[in-house]
Structure 1
Amino acid sequence: MLVRELMSTDVVTVGLDATLGTVADRLLTRGVGSAIVVDGDETPLGIVTESDVLRAARETDAPLSSIPVREVGHQAVVTTTPDTAIPTVARRMADESVKKVPAMDGVDLVGMITLTDVVWHLSDLRAEVDRVEAVREEWGPD
């Protein structure tokens, strides 16, 4: 199973000059947990998560509308490609301690895969592993 089969293609983005108020509105409206921060050319620059919004609100005690995204977003973002196998991206998520990974086709943002996406499809992933093991046993050395 590949990332393209599970990823969401309707990715929430915000500009670098947005505020956390804008981010919170978009996250709540769209029912997601993160937004990709982009420049004017829609090139991904980072990610801001619901945890980032909550942490900034607690630490600054300021209105979200006064806190710029550029002050809280993660700039080193773990990415993947649509053709990456789910077990590979899941292992990377675990290794990097991230729950959300943008899917890139070259420099273009094409989707988002989340830990929730992986968990919801565990039974499908297990069935795929079983099919591969059955073929391996059938074609294995005798």
Structure 2
Amino acid sequence: MQVTDIMSAPAVTVKTDATLYDAIAVMLEHSVGSAVVVDDWMVGIITRSDILRAAYAAGSELDSIPVTRGMSDDVVTTKPDTSVRHALELMKAHDIKKLPVVDDLDLVGVVTATDIAQHQPERVRELQNTIERRDDWTD
């Protein structure tokens, strides 16, 4: 099975000039736990946990905190024709649960541990056994 068979597409995105409030609004609208941050190209990814951490650290309202303050900018990506097993190995190696999927220079989707769990639950158990939880808020 390949990533293209199970990924969520299109990827949910927010622009670099968005706020944490904007990012949460987009995530709630699409019922997802992350958004890819884009400018002309993908520059980062932000999750619900990232938003909580950034809001706590800033101690201010979500609509006054730029999304770039909370995002991870060291994004690990995969390709649509990558096997699900290899995608899971990337997640394990980088201690992450979400992989943007790129085809040449185009962002075409996101594959998550949840996507894998729905299609190959035995693989997620492998991931859960290797990823250390950073805190109780990690998603």
Please state which band the TM-score falls in when normalised by the shorter chain. Answer: 0.7 to 0.9
Note the residue ranges of structure 1 that are not aligned, 5 or more in a row: 126-142
| Partner SS for 1:82 | coil
Q: Could you say what the CA RMSD is over the residues aligned between the two structures, in angstroms?
A: 1.4
Give 2:81's aligned residue: 83
Q: Which has the higher helix share?
A: 1
Tell me by how many angstroms 1:10 deviates. 2.4
Please list the CA deviations of residues 103-140 of structure 1 after superposition, one character each: whole Å capped at 9, or x if unmatched: 00011000100001111111698xxxxxxxxxxxxxxx
* Match of residue 7 from structure 1: 7
Structure (1 or 2) with the larger CA radius of gyration: 1
What amino acid does structure 2 have at the position aligned with 1:31? S
Distance in 1, matches of 2:76 and 2:3, equals 14
Structure 2, unmatched stretches of 5+, are 124-139
Q: Which runs of 4+ in 1 moved over 3 A?
A: none
Task: Tell me what 2:59 maps to.
Answer: 61
Number of residue pairs aligned between Structure 1 and Structure 2: 123
- 1:107 alignment partner AA: L
1:52 paired to 2:44: no
AA aligned opposite 1:121: H
Q: How does 1:113-128 map to 2 (within 5 A)?
A: 113-122=111-120
Shift of 1:14: 0.7
Q: How far apart, in 2, do the equivalents of 1:27 and 1:124 lie?
A: 27
For 1:102, the aligned partner's letter is P
Task: Measure, in 2, the Cα distance between the counterparts of 1:45 and 1:26.
Answer: 17
Q: Report the Cα distance in structure 1 between the residues aligned to 2:68 and 2:4, rounded to whole angstroms.
A: 29
**2:78 maps to amino acid:** T
TM-score by length of 1: 0.82
